[in-house]
Chains A and B, each alone.
Chain A
Amino acid sequence: MAYNVNPFLERRSERTTSDQEFALVFSPKILEKLSDEAFKGGVHIFRSAPGGGKTTILRAFTPSVLRSFWRAKGTNELRESFPLFVEKGVLDDQEGPRLLGVMISCASGYADLPASASAIEEGPFRALLDCRVVLRTIRSLGTYLGFSSDEALDSIQIEYSDDARDLKNIPAHGSARELASWAEAQEKRIYAELDSFAGRTSQTLPSSPRFESVLWLQAVRFLQDGKQVATNRLLMIDDLQRLRRKQRDGLIDELTVQRPDFPIWLAMRTLVLGDSLLSQGARIGRDINEYALEELWAGPKGIHQFSSFAQNVLDRRMNRQVTVTGSFSQRLRDQLDPDEIRPFVKPGIDAYRTAIQPHEGNVRYREWLARAEKSTSEPTLEMLLGLFTTRILVARDAAKKQLSLDLALPAEEIDEKDTSSLRGAAEIQLHEELGLPYYYGLETFCVMASYNVEELLSMAAVLYDGIVASQVLGKRSPELSPFEQEKLLRDTAERRLSFVPKQHTEGTRAHRLLVSIGGYCRERTFLPNAPYAPGVTGIRLSQSEMNKLQSGTKALGEQGELLRRVLSECIAENLLLQRPSTASTAREAGSILYLNRTLCAHFGLPLQMGGWQDVSCMDLIDWMSRGWKPQKRLAMGG
């Protein structure tokens, strides 16, 4: 196979990379966030939007990858990861893998099993999953022990604890090879029916009344030369969202009820809008532990931690190529040069003066305006920000309805009011009105990824192409300027949005809804007094609106159900980021749906999460079907 032209184009988690390659590009920062609880017995569910890192985490604990980690332990790439694996007890410095990770994907045809093929409901699903767990376990055991061929499995004997007496559908063979043959034959029996041409009479499929493979994995003992091996086990089931709902609910319920004494990791997409995870009687913390990967980064230092993780991911990929030297961050300039700012100074001052003109004679703002005018002699970004901040503060004060004495406001009051959100509002207004770059620098780029590695990589791929292009063209600076970065990132954002109809089942409606939300947020953001500084980037549905949405067709009819589907898909695909909104004295609790941060760049909105506006389901239905129309002309900008 040929070399990779762009190291960021390859998805990291899936089987597209070899185990060795995966081991070298895996960023251990995610392990730091993984709780020790996850390695204890019980059911643990990992959730995220696609590309959030579920499969990456699971794959890191498979024996072949663990072995690759162990083999490469002396290399620079593994310097950070290796001690973390040792600390978690999954690798031993001398002996190699200490954990038998068994990974199964639910994408392999379970949903295609005919529901009515057996008298036992979902019996064939259980039978198929059981035989695959057995087969994958034995194959993983071979890798765990470093076997190079299946023949070596002959040296593994199998014994069972007393618990195995309850096994009805998995035979108690004494040899690993024999058991693997049984599992293969069982799968073949099922596929003889499942993989047949259409039009033949259905045969009865093998069926099982319960998931026995968990009990089996708990009860089985593997012996090599009379010595027990692979006692520390982990069952990982990926892509649960690919099961039919009944299958998924049944699997989670049954596994939880079995209370396994080893960890079972289930990975699935973010649950949205009322999908229930727990069976009756099961409790979060006691029976099931749930980890939302996006929320791992959502603490007060979240974005800094994610940035550090993201840089690690990017630099590991940069190390896999030779075209560009240095780290990724070294190639992205995060400040504007004075020469780049100069062309914006006069238009900036003119825009400020035009906006402030009606207030020039007002004694109340005399000191504020004098100070602002004085600063105009310095052609800096700071000066422009100061002017726009003053402009916002004047607009806010002028908008107050109450009577006030015509006393001059002291200049120092501007400093007191100059908060980071006000500054953010000034920055986005500078971008909107003058076209001064806003979306540049590594930190901004990481924020735009919305805590999603796949989005990070797709944007990095575009930036990398830009870096290579400027190198080929022999440009003087080895870095991408803020202008170049912004252009590339906004182009990516535009593509992301334009691909929505082409990549999603409810894509056309989702596209219309997202464009409407974007337009609405812009209207609310670019008001002269920036009331929701730095801007509005989301909408909120109160709990009563959420209840309507989840009531099926009862409250809102067919359109309500359609809206629920469109919103669910947008959230599941990371196009909208759902965050809870707590109740206060003035409002009930609800859910905030923020725009994906890359889409914020497309709409020219700020990247901070904060400002949102309450809307109703009827508003959203209207936006989804007909598109949002501005209520009035925008006061500023486009």
Chain B
Amino acid sequence: MFYRLSGIRHTRYAAARQLWPIPADRWQVGVLLALACLAPVLFSPFYLLSYLLPWLIFTAAALSLTLLMGIAGQLHFGFAAVMAIGAYSGIHLVRAGLPFELALLGAGLVAALIGTVFGAAALRVKGLYLVMATLAMQYLVDWVIINVPVISGGAQATLQAPSTTFLFVPLATGVARYYVALLWVLFVTLLLLNIKRSAVGRALVAVRDKDYAAAVIGIHVVRFKLVAFFTSSFLGGVTGAVLAFCYYQAVTPEQFTFNVSVQLVAMVLVGGLGSVIGAYLGAAFVLLVPIVLTNLVVLLNDLGWLNASTNLLSHIPLMIYGVLIIGFLLLEPLGLGKIYDNIRKYLLVWPFRHSDL
């Protein structure tokens, strides 16, 4: 009923293989896209720049990481460092006189190169050992940024993002920055959706599930692991630059610490490994739920329903947040993306109970 399937016949392969073969899905995507495009009109600048903008950028980061962790199965606990490389490279390249568009590419390339070097560890180690290797990357990059003044921007260790333009539009207004972020996250989303249904994607999944088996069926494991690290670090690097130019406007090493890496991993896990919609939901959960909870607790306190010290009031949101994470993962270990999927599958055959899809 909600996802009407009867009467939908694909008469060409192209139609059957399109991204969203069911019209109901296409409608939803269309509505969401329209909402995203009209957001500057629909939402006040406050909500646009404090919630939507960071959500989109961190979604792009979570998507980049889920390509590596979810699809290719390579754990990465230093992704904030990859973004830091992108952010710093982007700013330095624009300062050196490169146009912003090229600087984004450059930021991605630098991050991809350094990320792949550390990713090379993945050729030898797996699982928790790979986590250690990527952790090393996090701390090394942090250390280099802090200790090399040419990178960090001198004694103050702050780099201001220079004003610049994207496709001839100056990035001076919040709306312009929002659209750049939107364009980027749409690009990453489409890229990931397409990777997942391409030969490369299937090869990465094979490597994830069992690399020996993948080698046996003729997949060049070394190459695909490096491809995964390169692509994911490239996307992460560009996302870092977008984050620096469109959101923070000034970068300091503290914006890319280990905590941020953990947050990114949490986004991917809470959203669901390898799930594209999960990255959106996970980023929203990890990024926005603490803010919303904080404001909710403050509101309750204003109404006089809560009476506690400021210290306790600040920690209550953290407790609820923790309980929520545990709750969601108990309810559905495969993440928020899977919860969405379950609901969709239920509605697909509603009022019947089972689907063969």
Chain A complexes with chain B: no
State the B residues within 8 Å of A (CB): none
State the A residues within 8 Å of B (CB): none
